Structure formats: C-alpha cells, structure tokens
Amino acid sequence: MTQDVTQDVTQDAPQDMAQGSARETGQDTVRSRPGDMAGVRVPDPVVRVAGAREIAPDLLVIPNQQAQLVPNVGVIGGARAVLVVETGLGTANAEQVLAFASEVARGRRLYLTTTHFHPEHAFGAQAFADRATYLVNRAQADDLTAKGPAYLEMFRDFGGPVADRLAGIGVPAPDEVFDGTYDLDLGGRVVRLRPAGRGHTKGDQVVEVPDAGVLFTGDLAETGQFAIFPWFPPYDTDVSGVGWLKVLERLAARGVRTVVPGHGEPGGQEVLTAVRDYLRELRDETWRRRDSAMGEGEIVAEVRALLVARHPEWAGQEWIERGVGCLCAEHPSRGVS
C-alpha cells in the first residue's frame, strides 16, 4: 500500500462494530472509520517498464516513479534463470512486467516472488502462470489465503482504473511455498529469499542479492514518507510496530550497499536506518505519553505534531495515527515486549 491510500480496509468496517470491539476488550486504541470514496480518484496505477534501470550487472529495477499503488519491481538475472520481484496491480501490469522480464531472460527460466500479499505487490501473479514458477514464504502464502479475498474486494471498491485492473482476477496461488530461508540458484548468482517475521504484515519477505549487495525490502522500508501501518482493528491488526523495528535493526546490521524499498527511490543503507530511526521515534514518543496515562486522542495529536515538525518533507502523515494506535496496543502494560 502507498501513502495516499489510507481508506483501504476501512471501507468494509462499520464504525459501530469497531466501537463495539473496543468496548468489549477495554481498549481505547484508534478504531477504523468507514471510508467514503465518493469523489476520491485514485490515479491509474501503471507500471512503466520503459523507466527500468540497471543498478548492478544483470539486475534491473522498474521504479514506481512515485505513483500510487505501484511498487518498485525487480528483475534479477543469473546464467540459467531470472527472478522477478513483484507484479504490479492486476493482469495488464503484470503482463508488461512479464514481457519485459522475458526479453531480459532471452530463454532463461523465469521465477517470480513477492515481498508480501498486498494487491499492488502480488495481485498480478496469474499473468505468470505457465511462464514462471511463483514461490513465496509460508507466512505470505497464509496471508494470501486468509486475507487475500477481502483485500481484493476492498481494492476493487476504489472503483475507476483500480477496479478495472482487478477485473476478472482472483487471489493468486503460489506454485511453491517454503519454510525458512530459501536460496534460489539462478546460475552463478544465488538470491536469498528471507522471511522477515511480523512487521508491516505477518508474511513480509525480503529478497537479498549477496554478490551485488542489493536488498529488496517490500513495504518494510520506503523513502520520503512515514511508515505505512495497515492497522485497522478489529479487522486487520497483523502489523507490529515492535516487530517491525526489530526487523529493521537486523536488516540495517547486514551492511547491504543498495536498498530497493517497496515504494520510493532506491538508495543506500540510509533507506533502512531512516525507517529504523523513525520507528524508534514513534515508539518512544507514543510510549512516553502512554506511560503517563494520557488518552489516545491526545497522544495522536501530540505525536503527530511532533513528528511532522521533525519530518516536514515526508508524505503520508495520516499513517502516524495508525502507528500510534498500533504501538498503544503493544505498550508493555499490555504484556507485549
């Protein structure tokens, strides 16, 4: 998901149900509000393969060019095979990616993987059927099965070009599902598919190209915006600010040279450290106020103002509220460490 699509899973979440859940659990965390998409236009999320650039030998990125609901797409080559990372939203985008990757491959075998189950990253995999082997980690496969149908319908509810791109497709099914770390030998180049643990989603997966020092993070890291927290209780609470910070601390310690985020410009180690440092800020400022028994509405107002002042150039300010809600639920007083 990208910074401007904040109403995603809230559309099918009636406010009275969310408030009822809050009363039943005794929580005062931020609750989802029903989205009203009337008059809201999401631009056509087009993957533009013409903008592809090589960031290492036989390793290309199709950049998202700051477009909403468009991920950075990777094409990684070895002597015998080529791996595609992400599909774009819907079959037409994925067909463009497949055609581009096939031209790069020139007869080499094709593989596909995705960093997590959100539709703009994975819901084009059907276009690769019978042309590539689609493999993902176990937790991501579980997310596709358990949550994919609801996300598909929710994204269709955006209407317009988003709905058009999702017309006639279903939730993708991987060809291969693996447990633990998977080393994919492309021939003279091994690509490491590494489950990250619970962070942005339960099934986050990073893609590492050790010989090139390149890391694809999916939405665990993005540039130029506040971290995207898909925190919509009681319907989706799988994001973990605590877990996400631990994941970023581990990734930042690996010393990769080039980081390709889920959305935004690729860069160096600073892509990881900027998100890590922001998550620490968000946690510390939220928990400090939670320790004083401040109400969540006040916490949101104060933390939002503080973090916007510190990062005035970042987009996606609306995600601060979601992050505060998540971290309030994960405060140590609730038994979360």
pLDDT in tens, 232-250: 998 899 999 999 999 999 9
Burial of 106 from C-beta contacts in 10 A (0-12 / 13-18 / 19+)? exposed
pLDDT in tens, 46-100: 999 999 999 999 999 999 998 999 999 999 999 999 999 999 999 999 999 999 9
Selection from 232, 227, 267 nearest residue 247 by Cα: 227
C-alpha 268/C-alpha 258 separation (Å) is: 5
The residue to which tokens 């959100």 are assigned:
118
- Does residue 230 surpass a pLDDT of 80? yes
pLDDT tens per residue across span 24-36 = 222 333 333 323 3
Q: At what angle do helices 319-329 and 296-310 cross, to 10 degrees?
A: 130
Per DSSP bridges, beta strands 81-85 and 109-113 are: parallel
Mean pLDDT of 257-284: 97
Averaged over 193-209, what is the pLDDT? 98
Q: Measure the CA–CA gap between 287 and 271, rounded to whole angstroms.
A: 25
Q: How far is Cα 289 from Cα 5, in angstroms, rounded to an integer?
A: 28
Q: Can you tell me the distance from the alpha carbon of 156 to that of 209, in angstroms, rounded to the nearest whole number?
A: 34
Number of helices (H), then strands (E), belonging to the chain: the values are 9, 12
Residues 294-308 pLDDT 10s:
999 999 999 999 999
Rounded Cα distance, 290 and 73, in Å: 39
Q: pLDDT per residue over 104-119, tens digit each?
A: 999 999 999 999 999 9
pLDDT surpasses 80 at 15: no
Residue 19 has pLDDT above 50, yes or no: no
Which pLDDT band holds residue 337 (cuts at 50, 70, 90)? very low
pLDDT over 70 percentage in the chain: 87
Pseudo-torsion of CA 52, 55, 60, 62, nearest 10°? -40
Whether residue 138 contacts residue 146, with contact meaning beta carbons closer than 8 Å, is answered with: no
Could you tell me where the beta strands, DSSP code E, fall in 86-202? 109-113, 133-137, 176-178, 182-185, 190-195
Tokens of 307: 């973090």
Query: 61 phi and psi, to 5 degrees?
Result: -125, 130
**295 Cβ contact partners less than 8 Å away, ≥ 6 residues apart:** 28
Contact status, residue 220 vs residue 249, Cβ threshold 8 Å: no
| Cα–Cα distance list, 199 to 8, 246, 252, 256, 282 (Å) | 18, 8, 15, 20, 14
Element (H, E) at 214: strand 214-218
Helix, strand, coil percentages (3-state) for the chain, rounded to 5, are 35, 20, 45
Return the pLDDT at 293. 84
Query: Which pLDDT value is given to residue 235?
Result: 87
pLDDT grade for 334, boundaries at 50, 70 and 90: confident
CB 214 within 8 A of CB 260: yes
Res 2: pLDDT: 57
Q: What is the dihedral of CA 54, 210, 249, 202, to 10 degrees?
A: 80
Instruction: Tell me the C-alpha distance between 219 and 206, whole Å.
Output: 10
